[in-house]
């Protein structure tokens, strides 16, 4: 029950800032979902850094049948035509509908920053109530003596710099989708 409430709150807060949230079973469902979105939006290219080799194979097969170009690493040179990306998220923060994403890998950063649409997979077990609840984990990552790049991501990229009118997708993704996975 507690868990259900948390998912509800997370979903409600994420949707309030325009994030599209879908509950599904597993990573393979999320892969299907991604291909579906790519198809619907007539996108041409897809990247999915950080996924297991099994999942990558699944995607690259799907890409072939869906006429999608699967972009292999390194993404930097292909960034200007990257349409859709699928990555994992590390945690969810219910209070604000936020994802926490550790993106030490440049590929993950580029995929989540430069794609038109970013789809993130989040196991429901990783949803926490608030930032305090993940403070310890983040702190541990940052206190490592190695470089790190982590982010709280809440909705799509936005601006209100012209006449304070909200516009979505100024530099980062135009859409953020979250695939809430029952099984991790």
Partner 1 sequence: MIKTPKDMKTYKKQLHEALEDSFLRSALDKFNTVYRENRPTVYEGIDFEGIRDLIAENKDRLIPFLETLFDEFKRNAQKAGTIVHRAKDAAQANEIIARIAADNQVKSIIKSKSMTAEETFLNDHLEEKGFEVTETDLGEWIIQLKHEGPSHMVMPAIHLSRYQVGELFEKQTHSRLDKENIDKLVKVARKELRPKFLEADMGISGANFAVADSGTLGLVTNEGNMRLVTTLPKIHVALVGFDKLVPNLKTTLTILKLLPRNATGQAITSYVTWIKGTNQCLNTPNKQKIMHIVFLDNGRLSLSKDPVFSQSLRCIRCGACANVCPIYSKVGGHKYGHVYIGAIGLILTLFYHGKENDRVIVKNCLNCQACKEICPVGIDLPHLIKKTYAQILKQDGKKPVKNWVLSKVMKNRKLFHFLIRQSHLAQKPFTKGAPLIRHLPSFLEKDHGFRSLPVIAKRPLRDQWEKLHQAISNPSLKVALFAGCAIDFIYPEQGKALLTLLQNAKIQTGFPMDQTCCGLPAMMAAEEDTAKKIALQNIRAFKDEKVDYIVTLCASCASHLIHNYQKIFKEAQEDPAGLKSFTRKIIDFSSFMDKVYPLDDHKPTAAKKVAYHAPCHLCRGLKVTEQPRALIQKAGFTYIPSKDEDVCCGFGGSYSVDFPEISREILKKKLDNIEASDAELLVTDCPGCVLQLRGGLDKRQSPIKVMHLVELLSKGQI
CB atoms under 10 Å from CB of 20, counted, come to 15
- Cβ atoms of 92 and 127 closer than 8 Å: yes
- Cβ atoms of 183 and 14 closer than 8 Å: no
Pairing type for strands 69-70 and 45-47 reads parallel
By CB under 8 A, residue 131 contacts partner 1? yes
By CB under 8 A, residue 170 contacts partner 1? yes
Tell me the closest approach of the beta carbon of residue 20 to partner 1, in angstroms: 15
Q: Which stretch binds partner 1 (CB under 8 A): 1-9, 35-43, 44-52, 161-169?
A: 161-169
Of the pair 65, 140, the CB lying nearest partner 1 is at: 140
Task: Please measure the distance between the N-terminal and C-terminal CA atoms of the chain and give it in whole angstroms.
Answer: 19
Residues that bind partner 1 (CB under 8 A): 13, 17, 74, 76, 79-80, 95-96, 98, 104-107, 109-110, 113-114, 131-132, 135, 138-139, 142-143, 145-165, 167, 169-173
């Amino acid at each position: 029950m507690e868990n259900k409430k948390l998912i509800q709150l997370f979903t409600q807060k994420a949707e309030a800032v325009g994030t599209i949230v879908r509950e599904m079973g597993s990573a393979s469902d999320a892969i299907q979902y991604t291909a579906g979105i790519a198809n619907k939006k007539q996108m041409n290219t897809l990247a999915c850094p950080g996924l297991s080799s099994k999942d990558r194979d699944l995607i690259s097969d799907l890409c072939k049948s869906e006429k999608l170009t699967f972009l292999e690493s390194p993404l930097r040179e292909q960034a200007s035509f990257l349409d859709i990306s699928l990555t994992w998220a590390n945690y969810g923060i219910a209070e604000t509908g936020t994802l926490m994403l550790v993106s030490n890998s440049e590929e993950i950063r580029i995929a989540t920053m430069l794609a038109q649409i970013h789809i993130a997979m989040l196991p429901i077990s990783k949803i926490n109530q608030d930032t305090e609840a993940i403070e310890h984990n983040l702190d541990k990552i940052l206190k490592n003596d190695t470089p790190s790049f982590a982010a709280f991501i809440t909705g799509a990229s936005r601006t209100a710099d012209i006449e304070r009118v909200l516009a979505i997708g100024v530099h980062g993704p135009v859409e953020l989708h979250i695939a809430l996975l029952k099984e991790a």
